[in-house]
Structure 1
Amino acid sequence: MENMESKILNLLKKNKMIQKEIYQKLNAIKKDEKKKIRRALNELLESGQIYKDSRNRYNMPDEDTTIGIIEFIKSGNMGFVKREDGTEIAIPVERSKNSLHGDKVLVQKKGKWRDLDAGEVVKILERNLEKVVGRFEKKKMFGFVVPIDGKINTDFYIAPEDMKNAKDGQIVEIEIKNYGKTTKNPEAKIIRVIGDEGDPSVDIPIVLSKHDLPEPGEFPDSVMKEVEKIPPKISKEEKKGRESFVGQNIFTIDGETAKDFDDAVGIKKTKNGNYKLGVHIADVSHYVKENSELDKEALNRATSVYLIDTVIPMLPHELSDWMCSLVEGEERLTMSLEMEIDKNGNVVDSSINNGLIKSVKRLTYTEVNELLSDNPSKEIEEKIGFLKKDLETMIELMEILRNNRKERGSIVDMESGEVYFKFDENGNVEDIIPVERGISEKMIEEFMIKANETVAEYFDAQDLPFIYRVHEDPDPEMIIQLKNYLEMLGMRVKMPLNMHPKALQQIVENTKDHPLADSIQRLLIKSMKRAIYSNENIGHFGLASMSYTHFTSPIRRYPDLIVHRLLKKFIESKGTLKKSDIEKYQKKLPEIADQCSKQERVADKAEWDLRDMKKVEYISNHIGEEYEVYVTGVTKFGLFVEIPKKMINGLIHISELNDYFEYDSDRNRLLGQKTGKIYRIGDKLKAVVMKANKIGTEVDFAPADNAKEIEKRLKKKYPNTKVKINRNKKINK
């Protein structure tokens, strides 16, 4: 097959050809010969090495053509296609043919757009979208669906027979019937009415449909049949050959609402003053056998998805919440890593075994933080006080590991930027509360990082096939953007030519008390490339780690499950892998790593989408109220602002500013022509919430300095809204 593909490529290097001409050039007369050519052509088309133009001629991309995935920005008016070298081609919407977000396209380079090459879509090679979620708009005899995702920059025509009794304004899921033409809308049919736009119960179905995620707790019958065969108790046979840790002080520490307990920890002080840390991880690979239906479904999902208080698990609840979960008082099978760590935070000895544990207590972060505080309650002392000495020893070790990581340059003080949503009895967001990590959260983080590094080093040292968690060095251009942003906030920073995470750690430390600390950290994260899974070890920039993996959460992450399988083979072969396993996993791991990275991105986007919707839901109940906001971005069309603590972002459009403002691109600021007023990044001002679009996740603000005019406008638009603007200039939020 490869030989035939080479022959075709050699032909197409010289000329464009239709299929018949290729037959003639290769002297293909018999059916079998033509079949081989067709198969090779399809392979080459699929891999993007060739394409068919509008006249059905096969052709090879040249230096002015690119095949890639077109991704539109949120407004839908500009798309970008990434080349193999990482550079991008900008595609204005008028040059995008009728391509949709995610389509595979052939692009012809044409001129420039800002600092990027510009291009035009010549041909759509492969469609990505089959289903879309949107808002139904009913006309007299027909309807349209406007996609929720602004990246999908077209409406879909719905014929009368395809409306499925949907009402005007309802959220629906549609299936595309045809993709239309440049001058004609694509057509679709409604396959499901999700619900009314304002109802909070439609939010998760919207996210599930948008990201093609399964219903929570729903698994194929073939998977559940396998689950039914798994005994609910561990047999004596399963315990044989395992290192038993039963009877030791081993316990779990998780959030209050957690049900799946992947990891348990235990600690001892050695005679020489070192620490012996045990990290015991649920032995999921014992239950999820390779190539089983359970395994195939787990790989397909690749990760659990956490949609605020709803989980779409990677594994059925019978496993994730019971047999694989390290439940208090129950014997459980584990992969048990023991590490001897010296006073400098170095692992001087370690061992990995198939283990057996019985967790003595299910602890929560809140309980541990209180027990280790200056004034723990009597109830907490009585409940978990018997573990206080162990926990205090763990905190000692945590400080050592944290300092060790800090010294090598790892970014250690980065906050998650997470918020807690408080809901009322009707499911509406009542409040948004920032989540602050306590000492127990930091402790578990340090232990898991050290465990992941230790396991990765076993395989890296021998150059054995493995799945690593890798993180490339930042893009220099993004670092310059970060530097410029910080300087606009009035901070002078030095950025070395050879970027080291220590420089970014210093930024985190120097800005932790700034009102825009969360915004700065988000931009810092954005300046770094995304961590992914890979079979090739290039290290982890953010952690300043030479080798890193994910070993500690196999209930909810498929890469961890693969790492466990490799560890079992590593143990069986007494510290290496068999030749047959090396060959097998060298072939399998690249594809598995790609799938896991891809599904992780899907999960992240789904989680972000729901959180953004809930933030807008909250602020939509505060139309007309005044907040203190900070300017996080300046553009020619207005100011991007953020409500600190609530982490709600929005826009003050330039038309809301009481002057004619010009945009100074060199200094990234807006200048008022009459008043001389200047708006810069980092400015603090009072702003009133004017509009909130939950589905589009957009919030509009206006400066509060023109109170009378704002109140008048809001009363006209929202007659029942109580406008709360402080005339005495004090901030109420």
Structure 2
Amino acid sequence: MSKNEKNNTTKPKRKRVRKRKKKSSEFVEFQTDKVKDVLLSLLHSSPQKQLSLKQIHKKLQAKHIKIKELIEFLLEELTKKGSISRVNNNYQIRLDSEDVLEGVVDYVSRDFAYIMVEGQERDIWVGSKHLNTALDGDTVKVIVHKFKKSNRPEGEVVEILKRARTEFVGRVELSARFAFVVPDHKKMFYDIFINLQDTKGAKHGDKVIAQITEWDEKGKNPIGKITKILGKAGEHETEMHSIMAEYGLPLDFPQSIVKMANKISEEIPSEEIHKRRDFRKIPTFTIDPFDAKDFDDALSIRQLENGNWEVGVHIADVTHYVKPDTILDREALERGTSVYLVDRVVPMLPEKLSNHICSLRPHEDKLTFSAVFELTPQGKLVEEWFGKTIINSQRRFTYEEAQEVIETGKGDFAVEIQTLNKLALILQKNRYRSGAISFETVEVKFKLDEKGRPLEVVPKVRKEAHKLIEEFMLLANKRVAEFVYKLRKGKIKNTMVFRTHDAPDAEKLENLKVFAKQFGYHLETEGKNIAKSLNQMAIASEGKVEQNVLQSLAIRTMAKAKYTTEPLPHYGLAFKHYTHFTSPIRRYPDILVHRLLEHYLAGGEPVNQIELEQKCKHSSDREKKAADAERASIKYKQVELMQIIASQSHPLQVFEGIISGVTEWGIYVEITETKCEGMVRLADIQGDYYEYDEKSYSVIGSRYKKVYRLGDKVKVRIKATDLEKRVIDLLLA
């Protein structure tokens, strides 16, 4: 064989030729995808406008003949596919095509967001420059691009269907010629430009509410106006009002609502009394927090001739006063719930109703809607009755006073309270035996001075008196739900508001099992023993340093409870059907349940499910916002408390704590003494580079393998506190 023949048959040369061909093919494919994305972005930038071929060439600066041919080819392909339409040789995007999806923006950081599309397995990644002024929570249309370099779907927002909010709370920064409002909202990454004539007299540093009035151009700040001045930033009243406004929750009632409530008479007509079952001579009392004013529920108890106990769960008859579709009702629906901030209650109903007419105050005749149960001394349910009643509470107990009666056996209604407690313990035992989950997370409350500054933080302690009330409320809620569900025979059931709760997330449960094993706990993650296993862990960890972390993680495995018309179970309570009947003064779903129960007791037909489901969804959304606002107010006071402690102590003072959270950017530490949580940034941990391990809830040093794990005890120092951002920065000591 000649030298030339050998060279022509060598393998390396053939490999190089193939490589070049493959590279060339990939390059052409990449160019096609790139041109396609640019072309779609152009058409999406003006969805209502038609563009000619010549205009498209000009806008894309397509001068080379090959690029022009490629554009024409892609336009033909996209037209056939239905992504764009062609009318008289003009092209326009089709917003109803399969490439365009509708979803909600989750603005993760300044650089990008995800669009959450119902029914889509994966969220769509969108860079901030392609959000086209969409903000967190907005409902948008997004076009999906399938990039070759990434496995995830990526896209671009082409239309904003609905703004989640146009008002933002923030701090004013004034200059000589204009102003900006710097929003408090963590997911609002743009300052709002304000013309001086639209500042409403706000001063530099004031907390205000700003409304966005226009925002047409990409990349520029939104323009707005100040609609309300909340006060000087940092003052207690200002910050509490700011938190309410930040979460879009109303604070004051419109005057028309207050006037309507004030017109309602407190007198009960005799004809109304005759329509109701009378419990005024039966031992009846309330048990509530010491500072409560809105008494939703009362208990009555008497022994029957057969030795059984009749227990009445009496709930304020709010629907007698708040009629459907009145302005009072619409306001209550809009609010959805009372909001419990660190220092106050922002009620769902005006004070005249919530604290006076409807509140089951002692020694006053009150209208109620009751669930009455006949129970054996062994806690077995024999009979039940639901209907309108009238009561007169003979005693208002605080939880502390009722607890003293339980413990000593002495005091007003001692026999009645101790009997109720015995029955409650049986009901609780039966619930746990049926698979209910018991979590006792530690909640805190603050002692404040006259100016609202925190003096100390005190853990809330739940004792038997709390659990007594809880068990009878659970019983009433459960039995009302089951009664309505079973009332109508056959496939078509009565439409009802249910409170449902899905099973735990399997993957999160498995991670919890691995984590709990480090503390010596064994967790079942499959079959019927999951709840029992979780309860055993809860009991075994009670009072130990890891209790809060384990129970917090266990709660995170759970789905969020919600309101729905679907008759699904409540996993956490192990109830086949469950609702909320017992707190209509502070929860709108309970008002709906009262109306539905009264309707079905009178033989009414099933109500419109679609309309009721919308109200359920709204109530669930409002509940979440109220909970977020409550947490924000607690966090604000925690930061303020640590700020005060830091100013009064040595700069190097060391605090003991426990790691309560682990993320890719830092570890969260709950300080044992104050129950306040701060963060140690990974960049601030000296001596190594730390990386986050999601499955083990830990960060691990890449060089020396030092591990900081969820639940570990650590010592920390305060690095900084920021009241405006509600954050505490810590350093490991």
Contact kept? 1:489, 1:681, Cα under 8 Å: no
The offset of 1:674, in angstroms, is 6.5
Q: Which amino acid aligns with 1:295?
A: D
**Between Structure 1 and Structure 2, whose CA radius of gyration is higher?**
2
Pairing partner for 2:631 from 608, 611, 634:
608
- Of the candidates 553, 564, 577, which is equivalent to residue 534 of structure 1? 564
2:433 to 407, 410, 421: 407
Supply the AA of the counterpart residue of 2:678. Answer: G
Answering whether residue 313 of structure 2 is matched by residue 279 of structure 1, we say yes
Check conservation: 1:473, 1:499, Cα contact below 8 A.
no
Q: Please tell me whether residue 431 in structure 1 is matched to residue 456 in structure 2.
A: yes
Deviation per CA, 1:387-416, whole angstroms, max 9, x where unpaired? 11101101110110010001001113x225
Given that residues 250 and 359 in structure 1 are in contact (C-alpha distance below 8 angstroms), is that contact kept between their aligned partners in structure 2? yes
- C-alpha distance after superposition, 1:331-351 (max 9, x if no partner): 111112111224554422101
SS at match of 2:135: coil
CA separation of 1:52/1:479 partners in 2, compared to 1, >3 Å: closer, same or farther?
A: farther
**1:312 correspondence with 2:346:** yes
Per-residue CA deviation, residues 197-246 of structure 1 (Å, 9 max, x unaligned), is 22122111101221222224x2341x344334322221212101211111
In structure 2, the residue matched to 1:301 is: 335
Check conservation: 2:484, 2:597, Cα contact below 8 A: no
Match of 1:239 in 2: 273
Say whether residues 1:592 and 2:615 are aligned partners: yes
Asked if 1 retains the 8 angstrom alpha-carbon contact of 2:84 and 2:92, the reply is no
**Residue 636 to residue 362, structure 1, CA distance change in 2 (3 Å):** closer
Between stretches 125-134 and 248-257, larger displacement belongs to 125-134
Whichever residue aligns with residue 654 of structure 1, its letter is L
Task: Tell me which moved more, 672-681 or 170-179.
Answer: 672-681
Deviation at 1:76, TM superposition (A): 4.7
For 1:632, give the aligned amino acid.
S
For the 8 Å contact 1:282–1:333, the answer to whether it is kept is: yes
Structure-2 separation of matches of 1:87 and 1:280: 46
Greater CA drift, 397-406 or 89-98: 89-98
Q: Indicate if the aligned counterparts of 2:446 and 2:455 stay in contact, CA closer than 8 A.
A: yes
Name the CA shift for 1:129/1:289 in 2 (closer, same or farther; >3 Å): closer
Structure 1 pair 603/428, CA: closer, same or farther in 2 (3 Å)?
A: same
TM-aligned CA distance change 1:321 to 1:122, over 3 Å: same
CA distance change for structure 1 residues 157 and 249 in 2, over 3 Å: closer, same or farther?
same
| Correspondence 1:102 to 2:144 | no
Q: 1:584-611: per-residue Cα shift (whole Å, max 9, x none)?
A: 4435322221222222122122212211
Aligned equivalents of 1:587, 1:330: Cα separation in 2: 40
Q: Decide whether the 8 Å contact of 2:129 with 2:218 is kept in 1.
A: no
Q: Against the structure 1 CA distance between its residues 561 and 125, is the aligned structure 2 distance closer, same or farther, given a 3 Å change threshold?
A: closer
Cα distance in 2 for residues equivalent to 1:193 and 1:132:
12
Deviations, residues 264-311 of structure 1 (Å, cap 9, x unaligned): 102234455543211111111111112222222222222111222322
Match of residue 716 from structure 1: none
Residue 58 of structure 1 deviates from its aligned partner by 3.9
Residues 330-409 of structure 1 mapped to structure 2, 5 A cutoff: 330-342=364-376, 345-374=379-408, 385-409=411-435
Native 8 Å contact 2:282 2:301 kept in 1: no
Which residue matches 1:647?
675
CA–CA distance in structure 1, aligned partners of residues 92 and 175 of structure 2: 39
| Candidates 483, 486, 499, aligned match of 1:458 | 483
Find the residue that maps to 1:59 and give its secondary structure.
coil
User: Distance between the aligned counterparts of 1:286 and 1:498, measured in 2?
Assistant: 43
**TM-score, normalization: structure 1?**
0.81
1:410, 1:693 → 2: CA distance? 41
d(CA) in 1 for partners of 2:622, 2:96 = 31
Tell me if structure 1 keeps the 8 A contact 2:405–2:417: no
Give the match's secondary structure for 2:231.
Answer: strand
Cα shift at 1:522: 2.5
Distance 2:287 2:309 in 1: 19
Corresponding residue for residue 39 of structure 1: none
Classify 1:77/1:471 alpha carbon distance in 2 versus 1 (closer, same or farther; 3 Å).
farther
Q: 1:636 to 1:538 in 2, by over 3 A?
A: closer
Number of the residue aligned with 1:128: 164
The residue that corresponds to 2:542 in the other structure is 512
Give me the whole-angstrom Cα distance separating, in 1, the residues matched to 2:441 and 2:485.
29
| Residues 67-216 of structure 1 aligned to structure 2 (within 5 Å) | 67-73=102-108, 76-85=110-119, 87-89=121-123, 90-110=125-145, 117-216=153-252
Supply the RMSD in Å over aligned alpha carbons.
3.0
Indicate if the aligned counterparts of 2:112 and 2:126 stay in contact, CA closer than 8 A: yes
Unaligned runs of 5+ in 2: 1-42, 51-82
Query: Is the partner of 2:298 in helix, strand or coil?
Result: strand
Q: Is the 8 A contact 1:97 1:182 kept in 2?
A: yes
Partner SS for 2:503: coil
Residue in structure 1 matched with residue 724 of structure 2 by the alignment:
695
What's the TM-score, normalizing by structure 2?
0.81
Q: Is the 8 Å Cα contact of residues 100 and 143 (structure 2) preserved in structure 1?
A: yes
Looking at structure 2, the residues matched to 370 and 137 of structure 1 have their Cα atoms a distance apart, in angstroms, of 55
Written as runs of structure 1 = structure 2, the 5 A alignment for 1:33-52 is: none
- Aligned pair count reads 642
Aligned to 1:707: none
Which consecutive unaligned segments of at least 5 residues does structure 1 have? 1-14, 22-49, 705-733
* Alignment check: 8 A CA contact 1:61 1:67 kept: no
CA apart distance, 1:369: 1.1
Give the direction of change, closer, same or farther, for the CA distance of 1:396–1:124 in structure 2 (3 Å limit).
same
Moved more, 111-120 or 245-254: 111-120
Task: Please list the CA deviations of residues 136-172 of structure 1 after superposition, one character each: whole Å capped at 9, or x if unmatched.
Answer: 2334433322211111121222233333443333322
- Describe the SS at the equivalent of 2:629: helix
Post-superposition shift, 1:57? 4.0
Instruction: Tell me which residue corresponds to 2:58.
Output: none
8 Å contact kept, 1:671–1:677 = yes
Change (3 A) 1:542 1:78: farther
Which residue number in structure 1 is paired with residue 18 of structure 2?
Answer: none
